[in-house]
């Protein structure tokens, strides 16, 4: 008897013994329910909800119902007791999936053996191939079966059968001459066609030109320079195939961004372009608020550096690691691409002096004692390729809206044309070419075409009421509220939270982790984000429906960037500007600067009846918020002064200290301090009473326009009214 036959007989014996044990267990139980192992159950794949982008690590999760968890007879192994045989994998099911593997054959199958020898190995495979042969058509790529059952004429065309039918068609990218790897990544990300700025800028960048690109916000400027960087790295890719660390070389690209959020946004977009690739460029983000030591380690092997000027300048001047700093500077001097995103903010007069310092350091050359070498006067101009992108390049947009033009200086405040804007940039950046390529895909407008703009006129003291009314009228909209001060952000967040609105704040003095946490909440669910202009650039959050300008922006270009957080790509959005009487002059100049020949924003009215019904809510919320904030300020101030007094060894009396501090003061300052003290002196019981009254008001539903007296007259669909299918019918409590 051959070894193969012995092995087959052994497997058959084991199978028969298993069946015998199963039968005995069934007889002892008196029913068909038996204990089985976990791999004998018919597990079902769990359908994960679509809102979990990364599924939080639960990809491939399986479940089964109507099964009891029990122990075996020895009480050492966990078994399962199904309520029905339908949950157990039967013998026929196992055979359908293929026979149990019995090991390698000891005797080779001779070529003279009959075809049945090969067929008996796996009948299901042969039948499947036969069905494919039946469906195949003669011609190129068709598959024919040989006498031994093995297909002949196999080509690489068969691999297309396994391609994902849902993969995005990227044929519209072919004119840009991108590599297959890049096209594959674009298909995976779902980018079926290039945007106008990408179609215009990518060819010029790939040809080696310096480029100044202008396009409205949300038009894909990040990939407009990110794809050429990715293509350049692929062309010069030199990572060893064995996975060893790449030696330190020059940095391919340095990307400068004005804010941390924008820098992290660019970092995320470029990293998404590399997902799934075994070899890809190393991308390092250098921003404030995070560990500088970790960023220094990442810079040692980075191919692309995305940085805010302040933190990069700090890293470049770190005196604790002189050797590493010198090595980093040497690598930065050889950078191939310098990208300046949101250049109007970085290169504005009086802003971000670190940019000029960084550029001077990159262009600085070492002169030897003889005055020769790299520092000689006839040295070649910088060979790096400079790319500049922004939504606004006109210097006039950056001037303050509240500033009054001086007599006879009308031309100074006029908008600059494209040529003047280019000359302005040439003074700041050392372009390689005498005349960079200027790409303007939106020459006639500053705003996205799908953006709806409107102005709401209101009294300065009623802005909170108008804001709350607009939020209640847009309960399903993801809303971003912009203010001009950090104190306004803190106050509005507290006020809206008191009114049971899901509000979070974002401003420059928040810790970086808190800023990221607020952005995460705003991106993940229906939340109201109240922010300063730090959120006006770099936020690429999907689904932002409404922008509310609580304060008129200080400059016209900031209004463009604020409103650009919505109506991104092909989506629509709304921008509402709250204008008080003292802001009319600024709004008028804003309209002139931004909407030269375009349709101006529409002035809309808010329902006065609704505001009257919400007045009591906002008044109570004001009392609660003002008292709470004043108590916190007073406690913080007293604590600081008490600590200072203890360190000096003197007695501290808050009333005496305050009276001494107010001595000799006149005017509004003393009255403001007195009001703060009165608000802070409100008892906790009084605040609790106000909260109770406010909760009662918030629990009431508000009728927005349908009189209850006519609900029985048949003219109103009551079911649709209560279900919320009639727009603006009722406002729910809270």
Give pLDDT tens digits for 595-636: 875 567 889 999 888 899 999 999 999 999 999 888 887 766
- DSSP H stretches of helix in 595-717: 608-648, 654-662, 668-680, 684-698
User: How high is the pLDDT of residue 442?
Assistant: 78
Place 387 in a pLDDT band, splitting at 50, 70 and 90: very high
Residue 486 has pLDDT above 90, yes or no: yes
User: Going from the N-terminus, what domains does the chain have, and what CATH number goes with each?
Assistant: 3-96 (no CATH), 174-238+247-363+382-403+413-440 (3.40.50.300), 452-606 (3.40.50.300), 614-625+632-700 (no CATH), 701-734 (no CATH)
Torsion angle (degrees, nearest 10) of CA 607, 611, 614, 618: 140
User: How high is the pLDDT of residue 421?
Assistant: 54
Q: What is the mean pLDDT of residues 552-573?
A: 87
Which of 463, 478, 447, 451 is closest to 578 using CA atoms?
463
Residue 311 has pLDDT above 80, yes or no: yes
User: What is the pLDDT of the chain when averaged over all its residues?
Assistant: 75
Q: What is the mean pLDDT of residues 700-707?
A: 66
Place 441 in a pLDDT band, splitting at 50, 70 and 90: confident
Alpha carbon separation from 677 to 436, 495, 626, 686 (Å, rounded)? 60, 20, 11, 16
Q: What is the mean pLDDT of residues 489-505?
A: 96
Residue 163 has pLDDT above 70, yes or no: no
Q: What is the mean pLDDT of residues 82-95?
A: 64
Is residue 589 classed exposed, middle or buried when 0-12, 13-18 and 19+ CB atoms within 10 A define those classes?
A: buried
User: How high is the pLDDT of residue 223?
Assistant: 94
User: How high is the pLDDT of residue 168?
Assistant: 84
Q: What is the mean pLDDT of residues 641-665?
A: 61
Torsion angle (degrees, nearest 10) of CA 95, 100, 104, 109: -20
Residue 54 has pLDDT above 50, yes or no: no
Write the pLDDT tens digit of every residue in 1-51. 544 444 444 444 444 444 444 444 444 444 456 777 776 777 777 665 554
Place 668 in a pLDDT band, splitting at 50, 70 and 90: low
Q: What is the mean pLDDT of residues 304-324?
A: 85
Give the separation between CA 302 and CA 267, rounded to whole angstroms. 12
Place 725 in a pLDDT band, splitting at 50, 70 and 90: low
């Amino acid at each position: 008897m051959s070894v193969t036959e012995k092995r087959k007989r052994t497997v058959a014996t084991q199978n028969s013994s298993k069946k015998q044990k199963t039968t005995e267990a069934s007889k002892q139980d008196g029913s068909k329910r038996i204990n089985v192992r976990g791999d004998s159950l018919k597990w079902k794949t769990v359908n994960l909800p679509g809102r979990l982008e990364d599924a939080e690590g639960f990809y491939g999760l399986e479940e089964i119902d109507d099964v009891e968890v029990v122990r075996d007879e020895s009480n050492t192994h966990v078994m399962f007791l199904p309520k029905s045989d339908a949950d157990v994998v039967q013998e026929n099911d196992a055979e359908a999936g293929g026979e149990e593997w019995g090991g390698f054959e000891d005797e080779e199958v001779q070529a003279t053996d009959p075809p049945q020898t090969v067929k008996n190995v796996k009948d299901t495979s042969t039948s499947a191939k036969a069905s494919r042969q039946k469906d195949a058509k003669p011609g190129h790529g068709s598959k024919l079966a040989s006498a031994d059952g093995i297909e002949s004429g196999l080509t690489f065309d068969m691999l297309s059968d396994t391609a994902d039918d849902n993969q995005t068609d990227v044929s519209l990218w072919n004119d840009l001459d991108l590599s297959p790897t890049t096209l594959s990544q674009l298909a995976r990300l779902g980018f079926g066609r290039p945007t106008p700025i990408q179609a215009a800028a990518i060819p010029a960048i790939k040809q080696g030109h310096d480029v100044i690109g202008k396009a409205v916000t949300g038009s894909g400027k990040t990939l407009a320079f990110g794809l050429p960087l990715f293509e350049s790295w692929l062309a010069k890719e030199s990572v060893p195939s064995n996975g060893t660390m790449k030696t330190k070389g020059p940095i391919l690209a340095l990307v400068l961004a004005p804010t941390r959020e924008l820098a992290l946004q660019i970092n995320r977009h470029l990293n998404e372009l590399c997902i799934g690739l075994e070899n890809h460029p190393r991308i390092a983000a250098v921003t404030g608020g995070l560990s500088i030591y970790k960023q220094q380690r990442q810079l040692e092997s980075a191919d692309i550096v995305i940085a805010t000027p302040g933190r990069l300048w700090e890293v470049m001047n770190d005196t604790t690691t002189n050797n590493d700093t010198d090595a980093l500077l040497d690598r930065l001097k050889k950078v191939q691409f310098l990208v300046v995103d949101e250049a109007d903010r970085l290169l504005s007069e009086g802003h971000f002096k670190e940019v000029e310092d960084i550029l001077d350091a990159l262009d600085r050359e070492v002169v030897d004692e003889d005055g020769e070498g790299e520092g000689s006067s006839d040295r070649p101009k910088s060979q790096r390729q400079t790319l500049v992108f922004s939504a606004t390049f006109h210097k006039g947009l950056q001037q303050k809206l509240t500033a009054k033009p001086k007599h006879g200086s009308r031309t100074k405040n006029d908008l600059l044309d494209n040529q003047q804007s280019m000359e302005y940039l040439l003074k700041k950046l050392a372009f390689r070419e005498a005349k960079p390529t200027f790409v303007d895909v939106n020459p006639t407008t500053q705003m996205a075409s799908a953006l709806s703009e409107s102005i709401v006129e209101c009294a300065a003291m009623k802005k909170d009421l108008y804001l709350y009314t607009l939020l209640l009228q847009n309960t399903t909209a993801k809303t971003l509220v912009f203010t001009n001060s950090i104190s306004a952000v803190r106050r509005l967040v507290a006020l809206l939270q008191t009114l049971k609105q899901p509000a979070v704040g974002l401003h420059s003095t928040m810790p970086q982790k808190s800023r990221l946490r607020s952005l995460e909440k705003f991106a993940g669910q229906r939340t109201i984000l109240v922010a300063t202009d730090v959120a006006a650039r770099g936020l690429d959050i999907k689904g932002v429906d409404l922008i509310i300008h609580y304060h008129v922006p200080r400059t016209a270009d900031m209004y463009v960037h604020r409103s650009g957080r919505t109506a991104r790509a092909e989506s629509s959005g709304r921008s509402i500007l709250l204008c008080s009487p003292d802001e009319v002059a600024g709004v008028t100049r804003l309209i002139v600067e931004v909407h030269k020949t375009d349709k101006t924003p529409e002035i809309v009215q808010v329902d006065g009846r609704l505001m009257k019904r919400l007045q009591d809510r906002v008044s109570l919320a004001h009392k609660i918020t003002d008292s709470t904030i004043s108590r916190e300020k007073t406690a913080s101030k007293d604590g600081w002064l008490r600590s200072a007094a203890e360190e000096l060894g003197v007695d501290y009396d808050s009333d005496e200290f305050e009276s001494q501090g107010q001595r000799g003061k006149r005017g509004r300052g003393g009255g403001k301090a007195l009001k703060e003290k009165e608000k802070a002196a409100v008892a906790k019981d009084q605040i609790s009473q106000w909260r109770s009254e406010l909760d009662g008001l918030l629990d009431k539903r508000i009728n927005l326009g349908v009189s209850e007296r006519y609900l029985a007259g048949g003219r109103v669909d009551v079911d649709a009214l209560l279900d919320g299918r009639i727009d603006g019918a009722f406002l729910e409590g809270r």
